[in-house]
């Protein structure tokens, strides 16, 4: 198979002396991350890479190769799953599905537009599982500048923003290989950290990154995996309770700082019929009659629930319950259940029921005995009325909760409150990650 360094590119590659000038430096290279940005593109879908300064092929993130003499490249997968450069056809004979292509701007440092969004660094194309993925190769500090405004409001106090910058930097370092088997380090969603590149950068968040340049959270000499969440509800959760793994610097701490924001308190109401439908319980447990809390963690977050049905019961982990209803809607597992027991039956139902039940039963007599038979109509009416008496009106199940997110690690709104009270970013990080040091 032909390699990426084809005859086309070989003719323009720089001499060995120039390559040596950009000799591989492991510690420097570690500051670069490959971030998958945007969706994956199927056959026939077109991705765009552009720069108003013009595009170039790069040997690596240090050395530029060929000037492509164009401001935009459009690329898709053909029916065979091969790269198709729609407006740069001369490339089509030289690149194969297993290769990676690093494209940057002529201007340095490189800035690139990938599918309408601007980024520092370079674009890399990769094919994985018959999908074209676009990757932004970006220096860590520039990456953080595109993360911070999406993880915290730029209007927050600077010390809270600096705490987030250090936490996000440490998280990126410890999760560097999260998606390495897919050909990149992290993605741009909440599964990693939300990342929107240059377009979202603000002066305050850039300042927070610059003023904490290179700083990380350490525990026992190792970089800490600094998980964070929106607000704790007054007490953070331990990693042990949340994920079954004890992490000494992610234990539960009393967190009064998180009790001073609107996002910390929430309520949701559902009818039993709504929940029955959402969780597709019909046919499995019968009619849903109630929901019970079976177990809590030692921080009082709900661990397991019980669906009480007319035919049987069903246990469900609270994490599954929450994710099914939607994590942004059902904000945490830190909640109570409030119930109102009001019958669905009304006066008309009662009159209908009584009229049926007052009908005389059929009587059969033979030479030995007299048999009174209860009609199926009565049995059905009784069954329906009793079940309605057990079920309750719409909105009867109210979930009253505290906190937003899994509750592990730093509370972002708690950090804001601490900053307002005069704590600096190191104080904040040490409070939420006990036993750590920042350097």
Angle at 113 between CA 138 and CA 52, to 5 degrees: 120
pLDDT of residue 148 exceeding 50, the answer is yes
Q: How does residue 206 score in pLDDT terms, banded at 50, 70 and 90?
A: very high
Task: Report CA torsion sign: 389, 395, 397, 398.
Answer: negative
Average pLDDT score, the chain:
84
CA distances to 194, 271, 283, 303 from 288, in Å: 38, 10, 11, 20
CA distances to 124, 196, 206 from 149, in Å: 24, 9, 9
Q: How does residue 27 score in pLDDT terms, banded at 50, 70 and 90?
A: very low
> Residue 197 CA to chain centroid, in angstroms?
18
Q: Hey, which residues does 372 pair with through a beta bridge?
A: 363
Bin 120: left if φ > 0, else alpha if -120 < ψ < 50, else beta.
beta
What proportion of the chain, given as a percentage, has pLDDT over 70?
A: 77
pLDDT of residue 391 exceeding 80, the answer is no
Q: Hey, which residues does 373 pair with through a beta bridge?
A: 362
Judging by DSSP bridges, how do beta strands 288-296 and 370-373 pair with one another? unpaired
Q: Please name the residue that has the structure tokens 């964070």.
A: 228
Q: How does residue 17 score in pLDDT terms, banded at 50, 70 and 90?
A: very low
Residue 410: phi and psi, rounded to 5, are: -75, 130
- Secondary structure of residue 34 in the 3-state scheme: strand
- Least confident range of 89-98, 349-358, 429-438: 89-98
| Overall average pLDDT of the 359-365 stretch | 60
- Least confident range of 113-117, 169-173, 301-305, 376-380: 376-380
């Amino acid at each position: 198979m032909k390699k990426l360094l084809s005859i086309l590119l070989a003719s323009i590659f720089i001499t060995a002396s120039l390559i040596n000038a950009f000799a591989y430096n492991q510690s420097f290279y570690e500051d670069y991350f490959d971030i998958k940005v945007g969706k994956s593109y199927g056959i026939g879908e077109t991705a765009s890479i552009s720069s108003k300064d013009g595009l170039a092929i790069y040997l690596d993130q240090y050395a530029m190769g060929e000037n492509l003499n164009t401001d935009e490249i459009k690329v898709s997968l053909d029916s065979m799953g091969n790269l198709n450069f729609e407006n740069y056809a001369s490339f089509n004979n030289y690149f194969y599905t297993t290769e990676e292509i690093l494209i940057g701007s002529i201007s340095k440092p490189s800035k690139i537009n990938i599918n309408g969004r601007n980024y520092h660094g370079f674009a890399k194309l990769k094919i994985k599982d018959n999908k074209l993925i676009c990757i932004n190769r970006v220096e860590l500090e520039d990456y953080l500048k595109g993360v911070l405004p999406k993880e915290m409001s730029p209007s927050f106090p600077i010390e809270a923003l600096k705490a987030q910058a250090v936490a996000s930097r440490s998280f990126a370092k410890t999760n560097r290989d999260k998606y390495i088997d897919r050909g990149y380090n992290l993605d741009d969603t909440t599964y990693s950290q939300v990342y929107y590149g240059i377009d979202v950068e603000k002066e305050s968040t850039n300042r927070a990154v610059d003023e904490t340049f290179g700083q990380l959270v350490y525990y026992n000499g190792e970089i800490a995996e600094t998980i964070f969440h929106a607000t704790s509800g007054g007490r953070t959760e331990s990693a042990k309770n949340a994920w079954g793994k004890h992490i000494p610097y992610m234990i539960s701490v009393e967190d009064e700082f998180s009790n001073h924001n609107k996002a910390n308190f929430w309520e949701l109401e559902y009818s039993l019929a709504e929940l029955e439908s959402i969780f597709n319980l019909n046919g499995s447990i019968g009619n849903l009659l109630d929901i019970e809390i079976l177990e809590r963690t030692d921080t009082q977050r709900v661990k397991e629930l019980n669906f009480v049905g007319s035919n049987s019961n069903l246990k469900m982990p609270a994490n599954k319950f929450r994710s099914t209803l939607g994590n942004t809607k059902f904000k945490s597992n830190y909640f109570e259940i409030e119930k109102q027991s009001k019958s669905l039956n009304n006066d008309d139902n009662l009159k209908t029921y009584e009229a049926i039940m007052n009908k005389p039963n059929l009587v059969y007599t033979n030479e030995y005995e007299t048999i009174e038979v209860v009609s199926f109509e009565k049995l059905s009416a009784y069954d329906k009325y009793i079940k309605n008496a057990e079920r309750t009106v719409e909105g009867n199940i109210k979930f009253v909760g505290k906190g937003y997110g899994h509750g592990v690690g730093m509370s972002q709104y708690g950090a804001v409150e601490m900053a307002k009270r005069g704590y600096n970013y190191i104080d904040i990080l040490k409070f939420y990650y006990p036993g750590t040091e920042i350097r």
